[in-house]
């Protein structure tokens, strides 16, 4: 007989169930926090609002997050993750790189309309200086992704070879950031998808390859 | 004899001196507040830090500003005023409209490096959602100014007639906002002037008039 085995298994099952529960609680807290941060901003959010919205105890919240700042950073991380996963799905579709870049921007725009965690994460990213959070990471990530895609688009002949990929990627990310931010300030994002399309229209001529009929030597 | 006249004059002089002093105190408070807000952000700034930095009493501060929010809005208004006055000076130089627009962006960029009130005002504008302030005004102002200049640049032949001035103006303001914001996050604005020049380089081909040799029918 191996009396210790069922014990170990029961212990293992219990551990897995508890892990599962802890994970679910953490997700519920992040979701509740996102909804509160999105509504009232970092400064006006209180942790007791979050526990109430998430239907968890204060103890459960503090088990996962030491402070409001900690919780805000987790919402930003989760937002970045959601947008990145969507971006990876688009990349996996195997479209040409330039189309991939455009689709990523449009999808991010749509998520700003539909996904509470994305809306909250972006609001917190803009407010980050108010709580001294370092938000370099997500920006650097996007610049790196867009630089890689710009290089690929150059190989595919959709972006002129003399465009400096690093400069264009940085400009695209900065421009997108401003476009959605100003759309939020002026129209509560009602026109964000149109403004993202405008952005691409205003950028495209700078990167589009020179066609033979444009060169002046037909 | 007219005994009342010297009295009235003395009263008038006293009133003017007091007005002058109140103005100086208000300016000192705004300057002190800007320096604190720029350093620590809205959330971490305290009014007693501001009175200390500005060397004024609490009473003097509260005479002019009812709350921290009130004071932050005054810093934003003063920032917008400083940038607008610089813009008007550029406009008065009578350059072609497109050059005026480029010069306004560069000057704003330089002020973000040099002027504490401008730096503080922009930080507060981004943090505005954290204290529920409405910052539509400055953005709308800039979009209107840039739209007017784009129209003028079209009349002067420097911007293609088929560019929708309102859409381009909105894009320019949004793009500029993102460019300086991301420059701040990633490099503490060390590269802001280069990024503003890059922005214009990446926008120009979309608005530049088609020269005869580009049209394919030379």
A2 — pLDDT class (breaks 50, 70, 90): low
Q: How many CB atoms lie within 10 A of CB A139?
A: 19
Domains (range + CATH), chain A: 4-211 (1.10.357.10)
What pLDDT sits at residue A216? 46
What pLDDT sits at residue B36? 95
Q: What chain A residue is nearest to B133 in terms of C-alpha separation?
A: A185
Give A177's contacts in chain B (Cβ within 8 Å): 178, 181-182
Distances (CA, A) of A157 to A15, A97, A150, A209, B179: 54, 10, 10, 7, 27
Q: What chain B residue is nearest to A196 in terms of C-alpha separation?
A: B171
What pLDDT sits at residue B217? 44
CA of A111 vs chain B CAs: smallest distance (Å): 19
B13 — pLDDT class (breaks 50, 70, 90): confident
B68–A contact, CB cutoff 8 A: no
pLDDT at A5 over 60: no
Choose among A44, A205, A214: nearest Cβ to B216: A214
Length of chain A: 218
Choose among B136, B139, B167: nearest Cβ to A198: B167
A98 — pLDDT class (breaks 50, 70, 90): very high
Distances (CA, A) of B92 to B81, B85, B95, B96, B184: 16, 10, 8, 11, 30
pLDDT, mean of residues B203-214? 81
Per-residue model confidence as pLDDT tens digits over A155-213: 999 999 999 999 999 999 999 999 999 999 999 999 999 999 999 999 999 999 986 55
Per-residue model confidence as pLDDT tens digits over B117-143: 999 999 998 888 777 778 899 999 999
What pLDDT sits at residue A217? 44
CA of A132 vs chain B CAs: smallest distance (Å): 8
Q: What chain B residue is nearest to A167 in terms of C-alpha separation?
A: B198
Give B213's contacts in chain A (Cβ within 8 Å): 216
The H or E element spanning position A179 is helix A165-187
B84–A contact, CB cutoff 8 A: no
What pLDDT sits at residue A99? 97
CA of A213 vs chain B CAs: smallest distance (Å): 5
State the Cα–Cα distance between residues B89 and B110, nearest whole angstrom: 15
A133–B contact, CB cutoff 8 A: no
Report chain B's mean pLDDT, rounded to a whole number: 90
User: What ipTM goes with this model?
Assistant: 0.86
- Output the 3-class SS for chain B: CCCHHHHHHHHHHHHHHHHHHHHHHHHHHHHHHHHHHHHHHHHHCCHHHHHHHHCCCHHHHHHHCCCHHHHHHHHHHHHHHHHHHHHHHHHHCCCCHHHHHHHHHHHHHHHHHHCHHHHHHHHHHHHHHHHCCCCHHHHHHHHHHHHHHHHHHHHCCCCCCCCCHHHHHHHHHHHHHHHHHHHHHHHCCCCHHHHHHHHHHHHHHHHCCCCHHHCCCC
In 3D space, the residue among A211, A109, A120 whose CA is nearest the CA of residue A158 turns out to be: A211
Per-residue model confidence as pLDDT tens digits over A120-150: 999 998 888 777 778 899 999 999 999 999 9
Distances (CA, A) of B161 to B78, B158, B170, B207, B215: 36, 9, 17, 9, 15
Give A140's contacts in chain B (Cβ within 8 Å): 186
A137–B contact, CB cutoff 8 A: no
The answer to whether residues B51 and B61 touch, using CB atoms and an 8 Å cutoff, is: yes
State the Cα–Cα distance between residues B194 and A177, nearest whole angstrom: 18
A174–B contact, CB cutoff 8 A: yes
A114 — pLDDT class (breaks 50, 70, 90): very high
CA of A36 vs chain B CAs: smallest distance (Å): 12
B164 — pLDDT class (breaks 50, 70, 90): very high
State the Cα–Cα distance between residues B150 and B157, nearest whole angstrom: 10
Percent of chain A with pLDDT over 70: 92
In 3D space, the residue among B61, B65, B71 whose CA is nearest the CA of residue B37 turns out to be: B71
Question: Under an 8 A CB cutoff, do B203 and A201 touch?
Answer: no
Length of chain B: 218
State the Cα–Cα distance between residues B160 and B206, nearest whole angstrom: 8
């Amino acid at each position: 007989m191996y009396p210790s085995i069922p014990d170990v298994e029961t212990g293992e099952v219990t551990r897995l169930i508890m892990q599962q529960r802890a994970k679910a609680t953490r997700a519920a807290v992040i979701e509740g926090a996102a909804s509160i941060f999105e509504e009232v901003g970092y400064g006006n959010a209180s942790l007791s609002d979050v526990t109430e919205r998430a239907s968890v105890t204060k103890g459960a919240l503090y088990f996962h997050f030491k402070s409001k700042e900690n919780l805000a950073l987790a919402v930003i991380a989760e937002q970045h993750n959601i947008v990145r996963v969507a971006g990876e799905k688009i990349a996996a579709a195997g479209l040409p790189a330039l189309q991939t870049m455009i689709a990523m921007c449009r999808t991010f725009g749509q998520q700003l309309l539909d996904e509470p965690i994305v809306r909250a994460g972006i609001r917190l990213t803009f407010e980050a200086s108010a709580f001294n959070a370092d938000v370099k990471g997500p920006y650097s990530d996007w610049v790196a992704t867009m630089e890689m895609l710009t290089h690929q688009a150059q190989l595919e002949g959709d972006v002129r070879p003399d465009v400096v990929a690093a400069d264009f990627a940085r400009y695209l990310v900065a421009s997108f950031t401003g476009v959605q931010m100003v759309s939020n300030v002026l129209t509560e994002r009602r026109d964000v998808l149109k403004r993202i399309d405008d952005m691409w229209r205003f950028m495209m001529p700078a990167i589009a390859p020179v066609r033979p009929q444009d060169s002046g030597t037909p």
